[in-house]
Amino acid sequence: MNKKKLVNRFINYAKIDSQSDENSDTCPSTIKQLDFARQLKREMEEIGLKEVSLDNNGYLMASLPSNTDRDLPVIGLIAHMDTSPDMTAENVNPRIIRNFDGGIIILDGNKNIVLDPENFPDLNKYTGQDLITTDGKTLLGADDKAGLAEIMTAIEYFINRPDIEHGKIRIGFTPDEEIGRGADRFDVKAFGADFAYTIDGGEEGELEYENFNAAMAVIEIAGRNIHPGTAKNMMINSIHIANEFNAMLPPELRPEHTEAYEGFFHLIDISGNVEKTRIRYLIRDHDRGKFENMKKLIRENSESLNRKYSGEYVKVDIKDQYYNMKEKIEEHIHIVDLAKRAMNEAGVKPLVRPIRGGTDGARLSYMDLPCPNIFTGGHNYHGRYEYIPVRSMENAVKTIINIIKLIPLTY
C-alpha cells in the first residue's frame, strides 16, 4: 500500500465541494456531486477497473473482475460522495500535523479555534502519529471522503498485484447519504453483490451491524389569532401549544442525555406564529418495540392536546426512515465475523458498537444486500473540529485488503 498516495488521494477528494442539499428535490441533490462522480469515474477507468458506470442520479459503480475459476461470493464496497450540509464544504483546506505532540493544535489562530485534548480526549490516543485536520473554517469531509480514498487505494493494491487470488469485487459510490437518500435509487440487482460493507464508520476498529430504527415526525399546529387587546377566551396561540407538546415528551429522552442503546426524541426544528407552528422531531431507538411506543406517544400527545382545546388543532405526520439492520445481518453473521478476522490480522482491535444513527447499509440490508459498516478512522464528523489519523486510514485499507484476501480462504 502506498501511504503517500492514500493521503494525497484523500486530500484531493476533501478539497472538492460535494455537499448535499436537503432542500433540493433532485437526485443527486446538488450538481457538484455529479461533477465529483464524473471525476471519480475517470479515475476508476484510469487505474483499470471494469464495468464502470455512472447513472443520471449520480450512482457510480465499477468492478474488479475475479481472477480465479473458483465460485466465490461477490462482495461490495460502498461509500458516499456527499458531505454534510451542517457546515460549509467550500474551500476545504486540509492540514497535516506531523508527529502530533499531544498538545493543543491551533486550527485558526485569528479566531482562536483549536483542537484541545482536554475537550477532545480521543486525541490522546494519537500522540506521535500524523493527523489530518481542518483549518478551522470548514468541515474536513472524512465522512465519507476517507471511505472513498480507502476503497480506491485497497482496490488499486489488487490491480497492481494480479497474482493474489480474489473473487469479483463491486464498488458503489452513492450520493446524498447525509440527507438520508443514499439508498433511494441504489440498484441492488445491477450491483450484483452477495453482501457488502459500507466504509463509513468513525474511530479505528468500529464495526457496526446495529443501528437505530428511525422516523421523522412533523407536527402541524393551528391557532386562532385575535387582537391581543380583545383576545381573552378567544385566542389560541399555536406557539404555546407547540411548547406544551414539547414539554409532554420525556426530557431524559433527548440526544444530549442519551448514549449507547438509549433512544431519543430530537427536536430539530420549530417555527411559526400565532396562527400556525410547525415542529419536526427525529425519533430514534434500537429496540423496535420501544421505537413503536415512541411514535405512539407522539400521537397520544396530539390527541390529548386536541381534547384540551376542543378541536383538531394538532396534526401529526410520522414517516419511518429506516430500521435496525441487525434483524437482517444476524441471518448472515459470518460477514461480521469475516470483518473481525480481517481487522485482527491488520492489528486492529474490533470495536463492535451500535450505530447511533444510520448508514446506507441499514437500508440496503432491507433491500436484500446485507451490509455492515466498517471504520474509516475519522473523528468529530460534520464540523470544523474534524480530524483523521493517517495510521487509522492505513489500517482501514489493510482491513479491506484482508477481507478480500480472506474470501478465497473462507469459501
Report, as an integer, the average pLDDT of 43-66: 98
Looking at residue 393, its pLDDT comes to 98
Looking at residue 24, its pLDDT comes to 96
Spatial CB neighbours of 330, under 8 Å, sequence gap ≥ 6: none
Report, as an integer, the average pLDDT of 228-244: 95
pLDDT single digits (tens) 391-408: 999 999 999 999 999 999
- pLDDT at 61 > cutoff 80: yes
Q: Which residue type, as a one-letter code, is found at position 188?
A: V
Looking at residue 360, its pLDDT comes to 87
- pLDDT at 358 > cutoff 90: no
Spatial CB neighbours of 224, under 8 Å, sequence gap ≥ 6: 234, 235, 236, 274, 275
- pLDDT at 180 > cutoff 90: no
- pLDDT at 367 > cutoff 80: yes
pLDDT band at 116 (very low <50, low <70, confident <90, very high): very high
Beta bridge partners of residue 86, listed in sequence order: none
Task: Return the H-helix or E-strand segment holding 172.
Answer: strand 169-174
Q: Domain map of the chain by residue range?
A: 3-211+324-410, 213-322
- Mean confidence (pLDDT) of the chain: 96
- pLDDT at 237 > cutoff 90: yes
pLDDT band at 2 (very low <50, low <70, confident <90, very high): confident
Looking at residue 359, its pLDDT comes to 77
Contacts 24+ apart (CB under 8 A), 328-333: 328/365, 328/366, 328/370, 329/209, 329/210, 329/365, 329/370, 329/371, 329/372, 331/370, 332/195, 332/370
Q: Which of 17, 82, 156, 394 is catalytic?
A: 82
Strand pairing class (60-64; 131-133): unpaired
Report, as an integer, the average pLDDT of 227-241: 95
Report, as an integer, the average pLDDT of 201-216: 95
Q: Are 17 and 88 in contact (CB under 8 A)?
A: no
- pLDDT at 60 > cutoff 80: yes
Looking at residue 71, its pLDDT comes to 95
Looking at residue 274, its pLDDT comes to 96
Q: Are 37 and 176 in contact (CB under 8 A)?
A: no
Q: Which of 156, 177, 178, 210 is catalytic?
A: 177
At 75 the three-state DSSP class reads strand
Q: Are 308 and 207 in contact (CB under 8 A)?
A: no
Cα distance between residue 78 and residue 74, in whole Å: 13
pLDDT band at 90 (very low <50, low <70, confident <90, very high): very high
Q: Is 194 a catalytic residue?
A: no
- pLDDT at 53 > cutoff 90: yes
Q: Cell 489488487 maps to which residue? A: 158
- pLDDT at 47 > cutoff 90: yes
Q: Is 208 a catalytic residue?
A: no
**Where are the extended beta strands (E) located within 190-275?**
195-201, 206-211, 213-222, 264-272
Report, as an integer, the average pLDDT of 269-284: 97
Cα distance between residue 294 and residue 285, in whole Å: 9
Cα distance between residue 100 and residue 379, in whole Å: 15
| CATH class of the region 3-211+324-410 | alpha beta
- pLDDT at 135 > cutoff 80: yes
Looking at residue 357, its pLDDT comes to 78
- pLDDT at 78 > cutoff 90: yes
Looking at residue 175, its pLDDT comes to 97
Q: Are 17 and 32 in contact (CB under 8 A)?
A: yes
Looking at residue 86, its pLDDT comes to 87
Cα distance between residue 243 and residue 128, in whole Å: 50
Radius of gyration of the chain (CA): 23
Looking at residue 262, its pLDDT comes to 96
- Percent of the chain whose predicted confidence (pLDDT) is above 70: 100
For the domain bounded by 213-322, which CATH number is listed?
3.30.70.360
- pLDDT at 296 > cutoff 90: yes
Report, as an integer, the average pLDDT of 158-183: 96
